[in-house]
Amino acid sequence: MTVSYPVITVSDATRRYGEFAALADVTFAVARGECLAVVGENGAGKSTLMRLITGADLPTSGVVAPGGDQQPLTSTRMARHHGIVLIPQELAYLPDDTVTNNISIGVWPSRYGALRKKSARRRAAAILDQLGANIDVRARMRDLTLGQRQIVELGKALALRDITLLCLDEPTAALNVEETRHLLDILSGLKARGVGLIYVSHRLDELRQIADRVLVLRNGRNVGILGIEDASPSTLTGLMLGRAAAAAHASLSHASGARGP
């Protein structure tokens, strides 16, 4: 499939550690305003792929390039310059500092080493307002719920100029139903603004709410890219585990259920 206006292009990307191929010959592109979900068992290569896309690691062979460029990514700094941002599963924030400072530090100009507080608060509040979040920018991060901290991390990403691609690693893993709904609503709004998303998740049932396509990894290889209409949980499980393993897994689950407690 040829993608118009790609925000990231991955061509035959392979990452080896010695003789072990953590990722092998993976190819895809993500368009503006598209969400590509990435699924796979633990050890399938999802984390390695995210590191390559954000410039935190380099492929042994193949190319990972922003947009439709032929110039490959070589660093996280270059990725950020092209508007590529990662929100990791383990959020990185300053727990004893304010929401404003967590959004602002390293992004907006400072004077004599101190943030211009009023301006920073206004800008942080404006970003959170864009996200539909009712969060006091003067609050300490430690006093927020996990869902609110996740939204602040999104705000930090939006504070960067011209964000093009947002990579999310298991963003709803620790969220409740209401927090998950709110986050997916926010991400849908970002898609509508043309931001591309790469969305790693084990929650196969929620992919239909946000993803346009699903990339399936198994043992470091791309074993399928499906349109979301074809990506039923059973189909994805079959690809993730391999057909024979999936059939055995289903048979075992059925037998366990038939025996009862």
**pTM listed for this prediction:** 0.85
Strand partners, 65: 9
Tell the burial category of 95 from Cβ atoms under 10 Å away from its Cβ (0-12, 13-18, 19+): exposed
The Cα–Cα gap between 69 and 162 comes to 17
Distances (CA, A) of 189 to 45, 163, 198, 208, 210: 29, 14, 15, 15, 10
Strand 35-39 versus strand 196-200 pairing type:
parallel
Domain(s) of CATH 3.40.50.300: residues in the chain: 6-83+163-259
Identify the CA nearest to 40 among candidates 199, 208, 229, 196. Answer: 199
The Cα–Cα gap between 209 and 216 comes to 17
Tell the burial category of 256 from Cβ atoms under 10 Å away from its Cβ (0-12, 13-18, 19+): exposed
* DSSP string for 203-257: -GGGGGGT-SEEEEEETTEEEEEEEGGG--HHHHHHHHH-HHHHHHHHHHHHHHH
- Look at residue 90 in the predicted model and tell me its pLDDT: 84
Q: Around Cβ 21, how many Cβ atoms within 10 Å? A: 17
- Look at residue 106 in the predicted model and tell me its pLDDT: 61
Look up residue 256 and give its amino acid: S
**CATH of span 6-83+163-259:** 3.40.50.300
User: What tens-digit pLDDT sequence spans the chain (261 residues)?
Assistant: 566 789 999 999 999 999 999 999 999 999 999 999 999 999 999 999 999 999 999 999 999 999 866 789 999 999 999 999 999 888 888 999 999 999 987 665 554 445 577 888 899 999 999 888 899 999 999 999 989 999 999 898 888 768 999 999 999 988 889 889 989 999 999 999 999 999 999 998 899 999 999 999 999 999 999 999 999 999 999 999 986 444 434 443 444 454 444
Strand 84-87 versus strand 165-169 pairing type:
parallel
